[in-house]
């Protein structure tokens, strides 16, 4: 691998044979972002394109953390979890190439998101702008904010990779917050979308915490953990609590909540079936019988 191509390392080396781009980046993360941000936008199509471009620019930098994680694991860990492709197809490109890709994708993405980007109104009011220069300043400030966020992301992943395994639990939460909530440096969303992002971060973090406290081996990853069941449960509990506090039932009963619920049900249908198939009265559960 002599030249950097976005997500090729994740697809071929980090997560081989799992269709990571299709199943996880597009089929999961991108849809979560769409459900969280597009409903709040007055320009849904350009918003969707811009989000996709920013997501790929995000993964260019996030992927550097994956590469560093494998290198450190090989160097310091007795039982490093490396894929079978790691030694046969190591990367040989310069890491700065990922930043070039990210910069280009970020610039194009901010252009598509131009009408949705939330800029610093106080700063704009201090500087006299013509109508044409206003949009240029908005894009420039948005790009600067996004690149600053990517730099913070890279630093956080670097710290994560150099910490011992138990301490990584807390930084993993921060990385997941960046993965799903980092787009808030440019965009705003409604309460429904924001709570969905938070629910996703919490659920993924819970799964990782279980993994670490079960030993952190390749065989201890809780594959049967019903992630989307818990994500939907946490989401609906938070939404119901907010609706009760605001005396506003429409926060809970609306199209966006319905679509998010359908998404969780579709993505985690097997786990939902397993959870509900285990619902039994205590008298029918032999493990609970009192002798």
Q: Higher-confidence residue: 165 or 133?
A: 165
287 domain residue, yes or no? no
Q: Pick from 109, 128, 163: which residue ends a domain?
A: 163
Q: Has residue 183 been placed in a domain?
A: no
Residue 176, pLDDT score: 97
Report the pLDDT averaged over residues 77-89: 76
Check whether residue 121 and residue 230 sit in a common domain: no
Looking at the structure, tell me whether residues 234 and 139 fall in a common domain.
no
State residue 224's pLDDT score. Answer: 74
User: Domain for residue 3, yes or no?
Assistant: yes
Has residue 126 been placed in a domain? yes
Phi-psi category of 82—alpha, beta or left, where left has phi over 0 and alpha has psi -120 to 50?
Answer: beta
Asked whether residue 120 falls in the same domain as residue 33, the answer is yes
Total number of domains in the chain: 2
Q: Are residues 155 and 239 in the same domain?
A: no
Domain check: are 151 and 34 in the same one?
yes
Residue 120 is part of which domain span? 1-163
- What pLDDT, in 10s, does the model give residues 8-17? 999 988 888 8
**Quick one: 2 and 146 in the same domain?**
yes
Q: Are residues 15 and 131 in the same domain?
A: yes
pLDDT at 291: 44
Indicate whether 25 and 149 sit together in one domain: yes
Backbone dihedral region for residue 280 (phi beyond 0: left; psi -120 to 50: alpha; all else: beta): beta
Given pLDDT bands bounded at 50, 70 and 90, which one contains residue 283? Answer: confident
214 falls within a domain: yes
Do 268 and 151 lie in one domain? The reply is no
**Res. 123 pLDDT band, cuts 50 70 90:** very low
Half-sphere exposure of 176 (CA within 13 A, CB side): 20
Q: Please check whether residues 271 and 150 belong to one and the same domain.
A: no
* Judgement on whether residues 148 and 263 belong to the same structural domain of the protein: no
- pLDDT band at 84; cut points 50, 70, 90: confident
Q: Is the pLDDT of residue 48 over 80?
A: yes
Q: Is 52 left (phi over 0), alpha (psi -120 to 50) or beta?
A: alpha
The percentage of residues in the chain with a pLDDT greater than 90, rounded to a whole number, is 57
pLDDT digits (tens, 9 = 90+) for 134-177: 677 778 889 999 999 999 999 999 999 999 888 888 899 999 99
Q: Number of H helices and number of E strands within the chain?
A: 12, 0
**Highest averaged pLDDT of the listed ranges 2-6, 30-34, 282-286:** 30-34
The reply to whether 159 and 202 lie within a common domain is no
- Of 113, 146, 163, the position where a domain reaches its end is 163
Q: Give the tens place of pLDDT for each residue, 189-217.
A: 999 999 999 999 999 999 998 888 876 56
């Amino acid at each position: 691998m002599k030249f950097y191509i976005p997500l090729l390392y994740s697809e071929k080396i980090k997560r081989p044979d799992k269709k990571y781009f299709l199943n996880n980046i597009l089929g999961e993360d991108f849809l979560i972002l769409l459900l969280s941000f597009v409903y709040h936008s007055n320009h849904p199509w350009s918003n969707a394109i811009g989000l996709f471009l920013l997501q790929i620019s995000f993964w260019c930098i996030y992927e550097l953390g994956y590469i560093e994680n494998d290198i450190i694991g090989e160097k310091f860990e007795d039982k490093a979890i490396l894929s079978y492709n790691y030694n046969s197809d190591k990367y040989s490109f310069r890491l700065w190439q990922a930043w070039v890709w990210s910069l280009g994708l970020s610039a194009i993405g901010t252009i598509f998101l131009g009408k949705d980007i939330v800029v610093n109104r106080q700063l704009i009011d201090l500087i006299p702008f013509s109508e044409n220069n206003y949009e240029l300043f908005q894009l420039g400030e948005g790009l600067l904010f996004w690149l600053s966020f990517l730099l913070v992301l890279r630093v956080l992943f670097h710290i994560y990779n150099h910490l011992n395994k138990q301490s990584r639990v807390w930084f993993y939460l921060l990385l997941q917050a960046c993965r799903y909530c980092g787009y808030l440096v440019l965009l705003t969303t409604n309460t429904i979308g924001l709570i969905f992002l938070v629910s996703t971060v919490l659920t993924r973090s819970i799964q990782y915490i279980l993994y670490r406290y079960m030993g952190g081996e390749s065989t201890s990853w809780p594959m049967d953990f019903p992630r989307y069941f818990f994500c939907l449960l946490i989401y609906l509990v938070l939404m119901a609590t907010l609706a009760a506090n605001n005396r506003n039932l429409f926060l809970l009963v609306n199209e966006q909540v319905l679509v998010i619920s359908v998404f969780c049900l579709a993505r985690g249908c097997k786990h939902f079936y397993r959870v509900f198939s285990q619902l039994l009265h205590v008298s029918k559960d032999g493990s609970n019988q009192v002798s």
